[in-house]
Structure 1
């Protein structure tokens, strides 16, 4: 599973804009805890916040529910943000060596200037120039609109994990083999998942979202008094650079004005 090239990243971004109404988005990131039998003499290394022993599968997923980058093998006790920071992908994202496309204009908002391409994640991840996370807790107005739009794009990775679990029985219980073998099995299932997504007639690229997957996008207005998104249970670092905050605020303004959408584009 090679890291995408610049053109691959640009193609992924086009898919997110077309299908999920989030421009300049390079993928949805999240971690999945794969439950294992506690290895001998491992102490609390694999013990996670859910009270089980696990190995973390960190994944970047595109708009077609395919894995584009995976990091396998981190200890269950490590947070998603820590897994990202320790991964080869996370290091390349931080030092700017991922061959991401250059900054681009947001559709219909040339006056906002060129903006960076970003990945979307939940509150367990840090806010960075190329990594967007939602505003914490209950929000209102334009921040609530931003959280809605980001959540709509971010759910792609959670749904991909759901598809993976439904396809491979090993994810439904406790895996009783060595961590090294678990890592190999996880990598194999991710590659096979991509193969099935790209070749199966029942999961072709024009398939509309099934039950439990993101459907038509009806973003709330900035003045809406309806109940907002519920706070995410996991909380990451709030430390962010001024540039990262500026990028997020630009997207907040965009989604509330030029990029406001009442319906999800057809797929």
Structure 2
């Protein structure tokens, strides 16, 4: 899996802008528990809230359902933000940096950061947008409109994980081997997933009609919901995205 360059992120942004109508998005991010047999001498490090043993696969996905970046091996016991902020991806691309320079949304003048799109497992930050909570969106049409654009783009990552699990049967049951070997197996599966996607062995039409709810992802489940508070600037950025989607 090659190290992403500025050109990689620009291609991602162009794809999400053209295909999903979400500008300034450079990827969708998701984290999944990959279930394990109880690792020896691991204590509770890999014991997750599902009362099972797991390691974390964190992935940033491009608009073609390919993994741009993965981070494998986070402890199942850790929260979503702990896993993300301890990841190599966070240190190399997010911490004190910008993936791409800010630019205005189409038809607007104020520069806006480039962001990743996540689900409720992530806090709202300058570099990550999450949907408005469902109760608020039910009472507010502008929030509901934003959520529809956000969730349509974010499902790219859900579908990518669904394709990964469907293709590689090792994910259908808890993995029974040493932690380092399990991490290598997960990384290999992600690289092979990208290889097959790049060779167009899975067609775009198959991906757009793919429904992860129809598959039993017995060894891959989402991270838990996030309860961490977000900062005011992050909420302001999301409000600007909301305004854009409601006037275009």
Is TM (by shorter chain) over 0.5?
yes
C-alpha RMSD over aligned residues:
1.9
Deviations 1:205-233 (A, max 9, x none): 576612427xxxxxxxxxxxxxxxxxx99
Quote the residue 1:27 is aligned against.
Answer: 27
**CA displacement at 1:143 relative to structure 2:** 1.1
Which residue among 240, 248, 252 is the counterpart of 2:238?
A: 248
Q: d(CA) in 2 for partners of 1:204 and 1:176?
A: 32
Deviations 1:130-168 (A, max 9, x none): 110112232122112112211111111111111001111
**CA displacement at 1:21 relative to structure 2:** 1.3
Q: Does 1:78 align with 2:78?
A: yes
**CA displacement at 1:51 relative to structure 2:** 1.9
Q: d(CA) in 1 for partners of 2:206 and 2:15?
A: 14
Quote the residue 2:133 is aligned against.
Answer: 136
Q: 2:31, 2:223 within 8 Å by CA — same for their partners in 1?
A: no
Provide the aligned length of Structure 1 versus Structure 2. 236
Q: d(CA) in 1 for partners of 2:223 and 2:141?
A: 22
Quote the residue 1:110 is aligned against.
Answer: 108
Bigger shift: residues 55-64 or 238-247: 238-247
Deviations 1:142-196 (A, max 9, x none): 1121122111111111111110011111000011100110000111111111000
Q: Which runs of 5+ in 2 are unaligned?
A: 213-221
**CA displacement at 1:92 relative to structure 2:** 3.3
Q: 1:198, 1:204 within 8 Å by CA — same for their partners in 2?
A: no
User: Which of structure 1's runs of 4+ aligned residues deviate more than 6 A?
Assistant: none
Q: Does 1:151 align with 2:141?
A: no
Structure 2 length as normaliser, TM-score?
0.89
Q: 1:30, 1:80 within 8 Å by CA — same for their partners in 2?
A: no
In structure 2, relative to structure 1, the CA distance for the partners of 1:48 and 1:71 (3 Å cut) is same
Q: d(CA) in 2 for partners of 1:135 and 1:238?
A: 14
Q: d(CA) in 1 for partners of 2:111 and 2:204?
A: 30
Structure showing the higher helix proportion among its residues: 2
Q: 2:59, 2:69 within 8 Å by CA — same for their partners in 1?
A: yes
Deviations 1:4-46 (A, max 9, x none): 1112101101101111111110111011111110111212111
Structure 1 length as normaliser, TM-score?
0.83
Bigger shift: residues 54-63 or 16-25: 16-25
Q: Which runs of 5+ in 1 are unaligned?
A: 214-231, 259-267
Deviations 1:216-263 (A, max 9, x none): xxxxxxxxxxxxxxxx994314422222111100001111112xxxxx
Q: d(CA) in 2 for partners of 1:208 and 1:17?
A: 18
Corresponding residue SS for 1:203: coil
Quote the residue 1:229 is aligned against.
Answer: none
Q: 1:61, 1:160 within 8 Å by CA — same for their partners in 2?
A: yes
Deviations 1:95-148 (A, max 9, x none): 2346x22111212x224x221110000111121111101122321221121122
Q: d(CA) in 2 for partners of 1:94 and 1:8?
A: 16
Corresponding residue SS for 1:110: coil
